[in-house]
Amino acid sequence: MKEVYVLGHRNPDTDSICSAIAYAELKNQEGDGNRYIAARAGQINPETAYVLRRFGMGQPRYVSNIGTRVRDMEIRHIEGVSKDISLKKAWKKMTDIGAVTLPIVDASNVLEGVITINDIALSYMEKQNSDILSKSHTSYANILETLEAEMIVGDPGARFDKGSVLISVANPDVMEDYICEGDMVITGNRYDSQLSALESGAGCIIVCLGAPVSRTIRKIAQERGCHIIVTPLDSYMVAHQINQSIPVRAFMTTEGLKTFLPSDYTDDIKETMQSLRIRDFPVISKSGHYIGMISRRNLLGIRRRSVILVDHNERSQAVDNIENAEILEIIDHHRIGTLETMEPVYFRNEPVGCTATIVYEMYQEKGVAISPAIAGLLCSAILSDTLIFRSPTCTIVDRHAAQELARMAGIDCQNYGIEMFTAGSNLKDKTPEEILYQDYKKFEFGDTEFGVGQISSMSTEELARIQKQLLPYMEKHCREHGMSMMFFMLTNIIEEETTLLCFGDGASELVSEAFGQRPQEDSVLLKGVVSRKKQLIPAFIEAINKE
């Protein structure tokens, strides 16, 4: 089942949030095999928070970036192994499953390191001292497994941790000068060689070709704490393979290990993967537990995240990395913007006052019943976007939809609308930054780029207080974000007017050209202007085109 996010713009208003929830519900009821998840690209404003509480709905999932993550890649689930397994066993496991890297984990599945085929090859090619087995604290279990051997004296659970590995090919008298206490001696079925090794203090004797070991030798070995191993291999094969019993911890990589989390964005890890001469990278949880392996090849077949956009079709307003997502549908009521898609998509755009109106129509067209809670959300969105039918964007279709939805939700449009706006306009505890971004959008027209924020209130005093707070912060915003112009609409719902704040090079000139009024002290009162979409932006576009 594919997950599809239904997502509004990055500074969501009530329409963006409520339409996302309602449309995700509609798509899930259709049951096309996908799972639709209502999401948001920004923080919920007070008005929307009130609406969600009023109708018993939780906030949609927060998605700040729709780009692909490591968890969207094909993660290969190679089983982790203990650092105590032999090089031979690690090599066999890698060849059996066609892997070049094995993850090394502890008993709790926490990643400790990795071992690669190159690491094992280097262990053979590099010159090793004869005491490498003991320095690696090689277990006798590994030695027995590697040499297909049997221990006839000693503890198979012990480790060889003292001495060197020697081959007894010389006369016993000569060997006595070379064998030190604790050494491992590879020998044949010669009694005198075995006895000489014991008398010299050998810690282990490996008898080749499956030769029998006398009871006398066994007894002496037991008394002196010497292990005796019998293998069917000849001395050449034993000498050749003995180092394969070394545990992988002696050669595995632990320092500077590059790992990724499932939540890491692929855009962030691409450069790292391409710059390092490593084929496989472990994926771990935040607690360090091993999950699987990824390689550069997995980046090629990555599954893009799927999304349906509501209440916007401008790239500058969309969630980060939208260009890397698979856009399935767009449901909107704004002008056709700058967003481009790789393939044809279902695009429904109507000249109505609210996206929620379109979503209501789609419920009706598909014959899907609307629950009281969903009806309440859709009605709230229409009342919010149309300023309780006062906005010039409001159409007969919006009014009819809102009235029908209000009947389903058991609310009165006028009374509930005032209640909703009152709850949402309590901005006294908000910082200038929070107010600025509560409903803020960026616009691009040719070479001209600017931002426009808006808040609506029924209190003239509250709007006047906010005006004093915002002007200094607008200058800070433009400087930090490298924008040349910025505007903010302080809309009085009752008076049906907007005080427009403006800042930046050419901002006052643009307002003068668009509305025939020159801003005084960076603000201008626009009577009858309450809609950003239908009144402010079209006037700006016309003025820019004249230039």
CATH number at residue 14: 3.90.1640.10
Residue type, 183: D
Residue 40, strand partner residues: 62
Shared domain for 393 and 475, answered yes or no, is no
Tokens of 46: 């007070």
pLDDT tens digit string along 250-298?
999 998 889 999 999 888 888 888 888 788 999 999 999 999 999 988 8
* Distance linking the first and last C-alpha atoms of the chain: 51
Domain count, the chain: 4
- Across residues 500-527, what is the average pLDDT? 92
Q: Do 108 and 54 share a structural domain?
A: no
Question: Is residue 338 located within the same domain as residue 275?
Answer: no
Give 186's strand partners.
Answer: 167, 206
* Domain end (from 384, 406, 424): 424
Residues 484 and 515 in one domain: yes
Whether residues 120 and 257 share a domain: the answer is yes
Question: What's the chain's length in residues?
Answer: 547
CA distance 482 to 476: 10
- Residues 317 and 418 occupy one common structural domain: yes
CA 245, CA 120: separation in Å to the nearest integer? 12
Contacts of 116-125 with CB under 8 Å at 24 or more apart are 116/253, 116/279, 116/280, 117/91, 119/251, 119/252, 119/253, 120/87, 120/90, 120/91, 120/251, 122/251, 123/87, 123/243, 123/246, 123/250, 123/251, 124/243
Which span out of 102-111, 253-262, 269-278, 528-537 was modeled with the highest average pLDDT?
102-111
Q: What is the CATH number of the domain that holds 229?
A: 3.40.1390.20
Q: Within a domain: residue 130?
A: no
Average pLDDT score, the chain: 91
Beta bridge partners of 204: 184, 227
398: amino acid identity, one letter: D
Is 132 contained in some domain? no
Place of tokens 């490593």: 278
Cα angle 529, 421, 320 (rounded to 5 degrees) comes to: 75
Question: What is the identity of the amino acid at 507?
Answer: A
271 and 174, same structural domain?
no
Range of the domain at 320: 3-67+304-424
12-37 pLDDT per residue, tens: 999 999 999 999 999 999 989 999 99
Is the pLDDT at 426 greater than 70? The verdict is no
Which of 139-148, 193-202, 312-321, 485-494 has the highest mean predicted lDDT (pLDDT)?
A: 139-148
Name all contacts of 348-353 with Cβ < 8 Å and 24+ positions apart.
349/313, 350/397, 351/395, 352/393, 352/395, 352/397, 352/398, 353/382, 353/385, 353/386, 353/391, 353/393, 353/394, 353/395, 353/398
- At 49, the pLDDT band (50, 70, 90 cuts) reads very high
As a whole number of angstroms, the distance between CA 194 and CA 214 comes to 10
pTM, rounded to two decimals = 0.65
The residue assigned the tokens 């095999």 is: 33
**Tens of pLDDT along 130-145?**
899 999 999 999 999 9
Please check whether residues 51 and 121 belong to one and the same domain: no
